[in-house]
Structure 1
Amino acid sequence: MRRLLRRLLFAVALPAVLVTVWWLASAGSTDVYWPPLRTILKAFPDVWTGERLRTDVRPSVLRLAGGYASAAVAGIALGTVIGSYRRVRAVCEPVLEFLRAVPPPVLVPVIMLFAGIGDTMKVVVIASGCVWPILLNTVEGVRAVDPVMAETARSYGIKGVARLKDLVLPAASPQIFAGLRQALSIGIILMVISEMFAASNGLGFAVVQFQRGFAIPDMWTGILLLGMLGFVLSVLFQLVERRVLGWYHGLRASTRRSP
């Protein structure tokens, strides 16, 4: 119980300090672009009503989920193949290094030409940015499989799907989850950017509309909501990661305790 309370205290301490500093620093502000925090918080419930949550927040979350899931499936599948075969890796690595160096926001106009300006374009933009950390971390995770374990599996005749399911993916899963964590923050950024280019709803669209209408406190509420969304998704990801990688965290903890 004490450990839980201590962890909770550490989790809320820094946000509480930052909010307090923001509140005090902006309390006497008369700058139209830097309104007091109390004004922003007062506007928050008026702006983000149930109707706006349905029309702006839900489409954004669904686009993020679609792009992120597509990137996860493609990145893990391709990364497993590339990491498992040396010749495939030798052929693909130069192309992968070139493509990952291209900033995903630059591809938005190009993707719009092929996918239009609907939800498909936004999902593709999110997936095109999220796939790289997942793919590259999967490749490295598969390459780093313990050679002793790999040789043991070969000696026992464990091949094909069984080898992939029982050896390769479990061994690479810490690296894969590292890529998934990186991709989550990239996905949120690209979700907002894609909705700023061409959209009729979504969080990015709403923030831009507030800015263009000089509704500055409303614009700040959208930024706060994006931060809250990122925080909630990060917490959910950590819960899933701890459940899936419970064996890995337990192994690390036992290693640290051993003399």
Structure 2
Amino acid sequence: MRRVLLRLFFVLALPALLVAVWWLASDDSTDVFWPPLRTIMRTFPDVWTGERLQDDVLPSVLRLTGGYALAAVVGVAAGTVIGSYRRVRAVCEPVLEFLRAVPPPVLVPVIMLFAGIDDTMKVTVIASGCVWPILLNTVEGVRAVDSVMAETARSYGIKGPARLTRLVLPSASPQIFAGLRQALSIGIILMVISEMFAASNGLGFTVVQFQRSFAIPDMWTGILVLGLLGFLLSVVFQLVERRALAWYHGLRASARRSP
């Protein structure tokens, strides 16, 4: 119990300190663009009603989920193939480095030409940015499979799908999850950017509308919602990661305890 309380303290201490600093620093503010935090918090329940959550937050989460899932499937599948075969990696590496260097927001107008301005465009934009950390981490994770374990699997005749599911993917999974974690933050950014182009709902659209109508406290509440959404998604991801990589964290804990 004491350990849980201590961990909860460390999790909440810094956010609470930052909120207190923000509250005190902005308390006497008369700047239109920097309203006091108490004004923002008083505006929050009036802006983010159940209807607005359904009309703006839910579509954003669904777009993010679709783009993120698409990037995960493509990134893990392509990364496994590229990481498993040296010749494929040699052929693909220059192209991957070129494409990775292109910022995804620059591709938004191009994607709009091919995918239109509906949700397909927004999901594609999110996937186009999320796929790279997943793919590259998968490639490195597959390449780093222990050579002794690989030889042992070959000696026992473990090949094909069995080798993939019993050796390659489990060995690469810690690095795959590292890529998935990086992709999650990128996905939230691209979700907002994609909704600033030819959108009629979503968090990005709503924040821009507040800014254009000079509803500054309302705009700040939208920024807070984005922060809270990122925090909640991070917590969910950590729970999934801890469950999926329980064996890995157990090995690391055993290694730390051993003399």
TM-score range, shorter chain: over 0.9
Gaps of 5+ in 1: none
Tell me what 2:20 maps to. 20
How far apart are residue 198 of structure 1 and its match?
1.6
Matched residue type, 2:62:
L
The 5 Å alignment of 1:1-259 reads: 1-259=1-259
Cα deviations by residue, 1:63-111 (Å, 9 ceiling, x for unpaired): 0000000000000000000000000000000000000000000000000
How far apart are residue 10 of structure 1 and its match?
0.2
| Residues in 2 aligned to 1:39 and 1:199: alpha-carbon distance in whole angstroms | 28
How far apart are residue 137 of structure 1 and its match?
0.1
Matched residue type, 2:51:
E
How far apart are residue 233 of structure 1 and its match?
0.1
Q: Secondary structure of 2:195's match?
A: helix
How far apart are residue 138 of structure 1 and its match?
0.1
Matched residue type, 1:33:
F
Gaps of 5+ in 2: none
| Residues in 1 aligned to 2:249 and 2:14: alpha-carbon distance in whole angstroms | 25
Matched residues, number: 259
Cα deviations by residue, 1:129-166 (Å, 9 ceiling, x for unpaired): 00000000000000000000000000000000000000
| Residues in 2 aligned to 1:114 and 1:106: alpha-carbon distance in whole angstroms | 14
| Residues in 2 aligned to 1:246 and 1:4: alpha-carbon distance in whole angstroms | 19
| Residues in 1 aligned to 2:162 and 2:2: alpha-carbon distance in whole angstroms | 43
Q: Secondary structure of 2:137's match?
A: helix
Cα deviations by residue, 1:237-256 (Å, 9 ceiling, x for unpaired): 00000000000001001101
| Residues in 2 aligned to 1:173 and 1:242: alpha-carbon distance in whole angstroms | 12
Q: Secondary structure of 1:196's match?
A: coil
| Residues in 2 aligned to 1:14 and 1:197: alpha-carbon distance in whole angstroms | 35
Matched residue type, 2:210:
F
| Residues in 2 aligned to 1:6 and 1:105: alpha-carbon distance in whole angstroms | 41
How far apart are residue 197 of structure 1 and its match?
1.5
Matched residue type, 1:189:
I
How far apart are residue 211 of structure 1 and its match?
0.2
How far apart are residue 60 of structure 1 and its match?
0.1
Matched residue type, 1:148:
V
| Residues in 2 aligned to 1:120 and 1:236: alpha-carbon distance in whole angstroms | 25
Matched residue type, 1:86:
R
Cα deviations by residue, 1:176-227 (Å, 9 ceiling, x for unpaired): 0000000000000000000011200000000000000000000000000000
| Residues in 1 aligned to 2:10 and 2:205: alpha-carbon distance in whole angstroms | 34
